[in-house]
Amino acid sequence: MKIGFIGLGIMGKPMAKNLLKAGHELVVFDINKENVDNVTAAGAKAASSTADAASQTPVLITMLPNSPHVKAVVLGEKGILEGAKPGTILIDMSSIAPLASQEVEKACAAKKIKMIDAPVSGGEPKAIDGTLAIMVGGDKTVFEEVQPILLNMGSTAVYCGAIGAGNTTKLANQIVVGLNIAAVAEALTLVKKAGVDPQLVFEAIRGGLAGSTVLNAKAPMMIESNFKPGFKIDLHIKDLANALDTGHGVGAPLPLTALVREMMETLHADGFGQDDHSALARYYAKVSGAKIGK
């Protein structure tokens, strides 16, 4: 299948490479030329714009930071709606506000472009392994049509409901992940202050009820003071802000989400917005005076 891929960042790059490995022909675009070069070196063809990629491919994938980027790439100048033929399928895999997915889908439908939202969880390691968890909203028949493509990038692709449901599911995921990371940072700061080795605590509790994918991935990073992203604090702020907006819209108060978002805003203000979200450990170092890592 000939697929257009727009947005070749931390996630888009390995996802595009897995599509190439699966035998698809790729036409790619990103405003960052270095990212384009990285993927063309693996066999993709570069387009001169998003519209150019859209004019050549029956299926398009976008993997962009947030709602304004997706709106610009789909609705804007030299964007998808300018280039795509009627019948084209757009799979937006970015994590954006569910309301934005609904707005963009409406504009696509008016031009007979079929759009689904299909954000992912698993971060860069699972993007590289092709084992992402993919959550999908939109027309179920479109989902079924592109499911094999999704499974070239992920190990699961679950249909969650109408357009926007994929991103609503992703917000739930980001709440669970963000609050879990804060809990790990809080707990490991406590043990460090109390004079117990955080590494031994990690080993002791990981097999019990406190064990989690988040604990396994993020505790070692905190212990090593390695905050290389991964998933950036600034992107997680974006997701929690989208969760709070959505929560306020539907009447679901999210007090813990609000608290962790403010911790992340503190890190952003301190210049750590580009760090991995495990840098929540830095917030606890600031308020406790004790660093988990060496």
- The site for ligand NAD (CB under 6 A) is made up of 6-12, 29-32, 35, 63-65, 69, 72-73, 94-95, 120-121, 123-124, 230-231, 235
List, in sequence order, the alpha helices (H) in 62-164.
Answer: 67-75, 80-83, 98-110, 123-129, 140-150
Are residues 197 and 292 in contact, defined by beta-carbon separation less than 8 angstroms?
Answer: no
Nearest-approach distance from CB 125 to ligand NAD, in angstroms: 9
**Strand, helix or coil at 157?**
strand
**Residue facing ligand NAD at closest CB distance:** 9
Nearest-approach distance from CB 114 to ligand NAD, in angstroms: 21
Nearest-approach distance from CB 142 to ligand NAD, in angstroms: 20
C-alpha closest to that of 142 among 74, 23, 18, 59? 59
- Catalytic choice (126, 170, 192, 218): 170
Complex with ligand NAD: residue 70 or 292, whichever CB lies closer: 70
Are residues 94 and 63 in contact, defined by beta-carbon separation less than 8 angstroms?
Answer: yes
**Strand, helix or coil at 65?**
coil
Is 45 an annotated catalytic residue?
no
Nearest-approach distance from CB 158 to ligand NAD, in angstroms: 15
- Burial label for 159, CB within 10 Å (0-12, 13-18, 19+), is middle
Complex with ligand NAD: residue 66 or 189, whichever CB lies closer: 66
Complex with ligand NAD: residue 10 or 190, whichever CB lies closer: 10
C-alpha closest to that of 237 among 212, 216, 265? 265
The H-or-E segment that residue 40 falls in is helix 33-40
Complex with ligand NAD: residue 107 or 190, whichever CB lies closer: 107
The H-or-E segment that residue 161 falls in is strand 154-161
Complex with ligand NAD: residue 143 or 231, whichever CB lies closer: 231
Q: Distance between alpha carbon 34 and the CA centroid of its chain, in Å?
A: 21
Nearest-approach distance from CB 144 to ligand NAD, in angstroms: 23
């212990």: which residue's tokens? 223
Q: What amino acid positions are annotated as catalytic residues? A: 170
